[in-house]
Amino acid sequence: MLPDSFKQVTIWWGPGMLLVLVFGYGFLRLAHYWIEKNMEVKRHQMESAFGIARQYVEQFLNTERQQADALSRLAASIEQRDSRDSFEHQEMLIALKAMHRELESFPCRRPAEQTCGAAP
């Protein structure tokens, strides 16, 4: 049914083309695996960088909260004394207390703590 030249071409080139297809598929799978691994490494690097940034921000907010606590305690101790402070000094104390309340309202990132302002 088939001409002899087509049979000869199939006999000569068939196994070679089959090998090319098999190796081509193998190299394609290998390239896909290599790209996937590279993307995973890049994702881990980005997560690490974001983790460092998140830790820095949490430390900064914790420091600000501690400073606000200290200023609030100082303001409370000054208010308890019978002193003749000026009106401006009283305004500063009110502003410090307001800043302290505002910093306590920040949400926490740590799952163990319910609120940032909670006493340990």
* More confident position, 107 or 108: 107
pTM of structure: 0.45
Which residues span the domain enclosing 76?
Answer: 4-104
In a domain, 115, yes or no: no
- The per-residue pLDDT for range 43-76, each reduced to its tens digit, is 999 999 999 999 999 999 999 888 888 877 777 7
- The answer to whether residue 120 sits within a structural domain is no
Distances from the Cα of 8 to the Cα of 13, 18, 20, 50, angstroms:
8, 16, 19, 63
Is 62 within a domain? yes
Name the burial class of residue 58, with classes exposed (0-12), middle (13-18) and buried (19+) by CB atoms within 10 angstroms of its CB. middle
**Number of domains the chain is built from:** 1
Say if residue 90's pLDDT is above 60.
Answer: yes
Instruction: Tell me what the mean pLDDT of segment 66-88 comes to.
Output: 68
